[in-house]
């Protein structure tokens, strides 16, 4: 079950380069497997929702997932839909700063982490820079992303593959992805 916030009003702001951005919808994946992951995810959602230029509109359920990479504890994963007036690059910087505030240390690829925030979708934009790729390049291969994303945005069309999130999910195994019925990020909003 997801929570929606309606009546989102388009806004414009100027970023540091003085380009004006209209409000854009997007999706972020959240994950944590170090510390009190439920509280970390709730606080991260609340913090993002209080960030100037970002509004969290919908939260997925929370899922326990089998990690990819070296041996480590299971992850808790979720996705949120947001609206923003930030450019993709400024939003990425906001996500990275949020990870750091929660103690994120990048020691090994796919290693354990207190908080992982991935920008999955930014409207129908395709962004390729040295720092950022949107849509997230491995989104379509990961059940721990697609299951929660399909819960809140089943008909969203991936601008690269031109397939819906639901269609992408049909091509991955859901093994190792378990919905936690008594955990909700809703209280963070």
Give the residue numbers annotated as catalytic, written as ranges: 104, 113, 116, 118
The alpha helices in the chain, defined as continuous H runs, are 37-49, 88-101, 143-152, 165-169
* Token pair for 30: 């959240």
Q: Is 42 helix (H, G, I), strand (E, B) or coil?
A: helix
Find tokens 């949120």 and name the residue. 80
Non-local CB neighbours of 30 within 8 Å, separated by 6+ positions: 41, 44, 45, 77, 78, 79, 80, 115, 116, 117
Judge residue 38's burial from the number of C-beta atoms within 10 Å of its C-beta, 0-12 exposed, 13-18 middle, 19 or more buried: middle
Instruction: State whether the Cα torsion 140-147-122-103 is positive or negative.
Output: negative
Residues 6+ apart with CB under 8 A from 10: 22, 23
Residue 111, both tokens: 């290693």
Whole-number Å distance between alpha carbons of 151 and 137: 20
């Amino acid at each position: 079950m997801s929570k929606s916030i309606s009546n989102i009003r388009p806004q414009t702001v100027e970023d540091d380069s003085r380009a004006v951005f209209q409000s854009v919808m997007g999706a972020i994946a959240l994950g944590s497997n170090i510390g009190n992951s439920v509280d970390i995810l709730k606080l991260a959602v609340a913090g993002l929702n209080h960030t100037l230029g970002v509004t969290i509109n919908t939260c997925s359920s929370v899922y326990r997932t089998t990690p990819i990479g070296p041996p480590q504890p299971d992850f808790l994963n979720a996705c949120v839909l947001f609206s923003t007036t930030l450019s993709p690059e400024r939003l990425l910087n906001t996500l990275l700063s949020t990870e750091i505030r929660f103690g994120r240390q990048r020691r090994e690829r796919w290693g354990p982490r207190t908080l992982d925030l991935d920008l999955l979708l930014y409207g129908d934009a395709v962004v390729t820079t040295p720092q950022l790729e949107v849509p997230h390049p491995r989104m379509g291969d990961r059940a721990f992303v697609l299951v929660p994303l399909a819960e809140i945005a089943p008909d969203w069309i991936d601008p690269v593959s031109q397939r819906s999130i639901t269609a992408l999910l049909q091509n991955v195994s859901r093994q190792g992805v378990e919905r936690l019925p008594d955990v909700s990020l809703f209280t963070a909003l």
